[in-house]
A and B are shown apart, each in its own frame.
Chain A
Amino acid sequence: MLLAETARSFRHQRPAWKDFLAQLHFIGVKSQSVVITTGAATGMVLCAQTYLQFHKVKMDTATGAVVSIGMSSELGPVLAALMLTARVGASMTAELGTMKVTEQIDALRALAAHPVDTLVVPRFLALLASAPLLTAESVVVGIFSSKLVGVHLLGIDSAYYQANMERYTDPPDVMTGLIKSFVFAAIIAVVGCHKGLTCQGGAEGVGRATTDAVVAASISILVVNFFLTLFLARMFNG
């Protein structure tokens, strides 16, 4: 229902661009350190684990391809989304929940402003705009850091590492990750805002709503990811 009301909002009200830019800064700029660290750590550990197994069957140089495909289509978008859920989704719920229990949402409505137009739409748009870029950033950093580990620490030949990575990573792998990041962004925004706007009680209610939002969004992302993987694989591979 909140998603439908958000869509209806575009017909009734122009988005508040000032609020959108403020949210873009909070979500897009200030989440970078979190997603970069996540991408780098994931890329490095995935490279090490893959190498350790592939080394047993003399397939060391395929490591780069596995890391690249894994990061682009699965781990990059999912882990970036989970980090955004923890950082941005929780913050949205806590902020809107506090506004709800202190009657600021009612004040907004009394001032003839629709909470969806004023509060949800700027956050929804900022997440849709930021999540694919943050995911791409996380994937690039993950691949780069995996190459550093693979080549300089584990001794994989740099030229083969790069060549296999480029040979096996197709545009659909990258597109899969980016499409997933859009869907995950919508899940984080809708769940985070919905839990905040329907929050009940005082400080305890805000805490409970925040926890619920993080759990619900995280599980939704993991479940939706499975179905998206099957759907997008069929779409891109015919």
Chain B
Amino acid sequence: MIEVRDVTKSFGSQQVLRGVSLDIRRGEAVVIIGRSGGGKSILLKHLIGLLQPDSGIVRVAGEDLARMDERSLLRVRRKFGMLFQMAALFDSLTVDENVGFVLRREGVEPEAEIRRRIGEALDVVELPGIGHKMPSELSGGMRKRVGLARAIVYRPEIFLYDEPTTGLDPIAADNIDRLIRRVWETLHVTSIAVTHDMKSARTISNRILMLHEGRIYSEGPTSDILGSSDPVIHRFVNGISTPQKPE
């Protein structure tokens, strides 16, 4: 469903992606792990066309995003729902208006149907009755759940999660993980997340890709990667820093 070939991306003199290639099949739950600042979020934004590669191919359902202009990309992006790292709720709109943004923009009628679907999405993320609140009145965990409701409500085929548990306490993080897992299982969608939270990766994926030094270093079933004896993967998964050499 998603095919990435030899994608490179630089910002100024810093090359972040150095030839990334990967395939994601329909209905998979994939997590991309890697160190902070290693380009995971950059890679995720390439999958939805928010960033264009310097070279290489990003193909979604057969369409090469790198060759499309912004207006053509809008049609492809309709297949995606994305949860941003800080939720990225529109802070001038209420929760209700945020969640119903796409439905109202696409002219779904009647208004009662929009309200029903907003209510349904907020029920899925276990936040009923907060439609009147502004994003500034919500906690970090609630904002992420509203962000998830905003993505669920228009029933996309592919869900992208950018660091879904970053900045949350362990309970809130577990809550988000369970929601992501439930969305994947019940809606039968393709789920792609980037994270450096190994507990989260274990819960929400059935396959893991590891991004290391701008390339996909390794990939495999979740249990294989998390139990790998490869020194790079083992150190990352178990949070072991590289030993300092004595002077």
Contact = CB atoms under 8 A, between A and B. Distances in A.
A110 B48 contact: yes
Nearest to B49: A109
- Among A12, A103, A110, A114, the one with the most B-chain Cβ atoms within 10 Å of its Cβ is A110
A212 interface: no
A38 B49 CA distance: 46
B116 interface: no
Interface in A2-19: 8, 12
B84 to A, nearest CB: 5
A167 to B, nearest CB: 51
Given A12-B71, A111-B101, A113-B105, A103 B88 contact: yes
Contacts of B48: 110
A106 interface: yes
Contacts of A109: 50, 70, 73-74, 77
A104 interface: yes
B85 A103 contact: yes
Contacts of B2: none
B90 A114 contact: no
A100 B70 CA distance: 16
B74 A106 contact: no
Contact of B88 (A12, A106, A114): A106
B71 A107 contact: no
Interface in B104-128: 105
Nearest to A109: B50
Contact of A111 (B73, B86, B102): B102
A8 B75 CA distance: 17
Contacts of B91: 102, 104
A14 to B, nearest CB: 10
B84 A114 contact: no
Interface string A90-117: 0000000001001110111111111000
Interface string B34-61: 0000000000010010100000000000
B74 A103 contact: no
Interface string B79-105: 011101110111100000000011001
Contacts of A112: 74-75, 77-78, 102
A172 B89 CA distance: 49
A104 B135 CA distance: 12
A113 B77 CA distance: 9
A102 B73 CA distance: 22
A107 B74 contact: no
B192 to A, nearest CB: 13
Contacts of A107: 82, 84, 88-90
Interface string A1-44: 00000001000100000000000000000000000000000000
A103 B160 CA distance: 15
A203 to B, nearest CB: 14
A106 B50 contact: yes
B164 to A, nearest CB: 14
Contacts of A103: 84-86, 88
Given A103-B84, A104-B90, A110 B71 contact: no
Nearest to A16: B105
Interface string B153-168: 0000000100000000
Contacts of B160: 110
Contact of B80 (A8, A108, A110): A110
B74 A114 contact: yes
- Among A12, A103, A108, A114, the one with the most B-chain Cβ atoms within 10 Å of its Cβ is A103
Contacts of B70: 109, 114
Contacts of A102: 86, 88, 91
A12 B73 CA distance: 14
B77 A104 contact: no
Nearest to A104: B88
- In order of increasing CB-CB distance, the 3 nearest A-B pairs are A107-B88, A103-B88, A110-B82
Interface of B: 45, 48, 50, 70-71, 73-75, 77-78, 80-82, 84-86, 88-91, 101-102, 105, 150, 160
12 contacts: A102-B88, A106-B50, A106-B84, A107-B82, A108-B90, A109-B77, A111-B102, A111-B105, A112-B77, A113-B74, A113-B105, A114-B71
Given A8-B71, A107-B90, A111-B102, 6 more contacts: A103-B84, A103-B85, A107-B89, A110-B160, A111-B77, A113-B105
